Amino acid sequence: MRLTHLSITNFKNYARLELDLPAGTTIVHGDNAQGKTSFLEAIFYLATTRALGSQTDAQLINWVAQQSGLPYARLWAQAQPAASGATDRAPKQLEIIWSQDPSPGGASADGAARLQKSLKLNGVRKRALDWVGQLAVVLFVPADLELVTGPPSQRRHYLDHLISQIDVKYLEALHIYTRVLLQRNQHLKRLQERGGPAESLHLWDDQLVTHGTYLVLRRQAVMTQLDELAQRVHPQLTGGRERLRLLYRPNLNVGQPVDYQLPLTLGADFSATYHQPQLDGGEVAAHFYARLRDGEPRERAQGITLAGPHRDDLRFLVDGVDMNIYGSRGQQRSTALALKLAEMELMHAQTGEHPILLLDDVLSELDAERRRYLVGRIDAHEQTLLTTTDLTQYACQFTRPVCVMRVREGIMRRDEAREREIVRDLTSSPLSPDQVGGEGLG
């Protein structure tokens, strides 16, 4: 899959942008706060219908347009599915429009306009659910490191978004599960306040178990796949010195207790010790029911549901050592990168399309060895869009033609003069270490 044209109106830094995008690599450079990340965010939004951070839609609209009193914004892109493999090869047009709600109650209490968002695929209006999987992207940002170092909730969210992009049923199950969980937790709180018969609490259990079990099984299947893919990528990032495992640690771990803290074991044979749990739907459901039944006194005391996939976690082990706790910065970075590269392979395996890669100022964080590997992958990829403040770090790294764009105050211009610097003249000498720099291996 690749984008052939992108049109942006009143989105973040951009008042207006019309851009034809070539295949291969496009590098967007410019100073801070000029619109580099906004450019990637526009594409990310078109693919996933969500913002990068926790911004509301109104905050995405260009602030000049907001003051003009007629908030209107639009993202439009044309995408061309790959020539091989895909059955549906016609180009697709994806469009997202925000406009002011025309109804009389269209303004909220603070006077700000309420926005209506509509999604259109090839000019036909679609629901958010039907949007899933239309445009596959993988986003690399420096904050990916937090997937390794951060709390379990970030890893769960990451996995949820990833699976939702390839499986609509997962998205629906997640939606219902979240709602049932909220109802059940509120039910527990009301029981705490007023007392009363506890048996009514279990009226939520059937739906919680049905949808929760689906989440557990899908998460397990996807993590098993990611684990295999990451095991192939990781040695190339680390010179084959270390072995990475990505493990799913379900809260409903049938048969064995959850190992919240893994022992520090070093040794080559660790992979035999840590299996992905092989779960069976019937067993998970039975275990889930049992946990809900047995946990009732504690749940009533604490006022929350204590068992279920909303308390799952993922474990990233390098040579058997838990990266979340014991990893060095360098190891954590390689782990995060391996995870994202595995995600890219997974999307390809699941959809038959190479996802579009979006990299937001990622290379500056990497050392020479890993940077060279990543650039090699990008160089060979169908379409990549990356941003940087410093073009020199890409000097002579690419073998295929690269399109360089310079962005200033929301205006983008082709920068052909710099394009030759980026592409490696195969006759010239290999890179000297001081050209690439970066931090040492962890």
Partner 1 sequence: MNSIPPSVTRLIDEFSRLPGIGPKTASRLTYYLLRMPDEQAKSLAAALSDLKEKTVTCQVCFNIAERSPCATCADEARDHSLICVVEEPLDVMAIERTREFKGTYHVLGGAINPIEGILPEDLKIAELVARVKREDIHEVILATNPNLEGESTAAYIQRQLAPHTRKVTRLARGLPIGGDLEYADEVTLMRAIEGRREM
| Residues binding partner 1 (CB under 8 A) | 104-105, 127, 129, 168-169, 172, 176, 179-180, 182-184, 186-187, 189-191, 194, 196-197, 200, 203-204, 206-207
**DSSP designation for 35:** S
Smaller CB separation from partner 1, 55 or 192: 192
Smaller CB separation from partner 1, 101 or 409: 101
Nearest distance in Å: CB 71, partner 1? 21
Nearest distance in Å: CB 160, partner 1? 19
| CB of 120 closer than 8 Å to CB of 74 | no
Nearest distance in Å: CB 211, partner 1? 10
Residue 56 DSSP SS3:
coil
Smaller CB separation from partner 1, 207 or 225: 207
Residue 198 DSSP SS3:
coil
Question: Which regions of 216-323 does DSSP assign to beta strands (E)?
Answer: 244-249, 313-318, 321-322
Contacts of 85 (CB under 8 A, 6+ apart): 352, 353
Smaller CB separation from partner 1, 281 or 437: 281
Question: Which regions of 191-262 does DSSP assign to beta strands (E)?
Answer: 244-249
| CB of 262 closer than 8 Å to CB of 315 | yes
Nearest distance in Å: CB 188, partner 1? 8
| CB of 347 closer than 8 Å to CB of 165 | yes
Q: Which helix (H) or strand (E) holds 422?
A: helix 416-422
Q: How far apart are CA 13 and CA 408, in angstroms?
A: 10
Q: What is the DSSP string of 341-410?
A: HHHHHHHHHHHSSPPEEEEES-GGGS-HHHHHHHHHHHHTSSEEEEEES-GGGGTT-BSS-EEEEEEETT
Widest CA span in the chain? 82
Nearest distance in Å: CB 46, partner 1? 23
| CB of 276 closer than 8 Å to CB of 253 | no
- Amino acid code (one letter) for 72: Y
Edge-first strand order for the sheet with 72-80 is 14-20, 2-11, 72-80, 92-100, 115-121, 124-126
Nearest distance in Å: CB 321, partner 1? 43
Nearest distance in Å: CB 186, partner 1? 4
Nearest distance in Å: CB 312, partner 1? 22
| CB of 248 closer than 8 Å to CB of 228 | no
Nearest distance in Å: CB 179, partner 1? 6
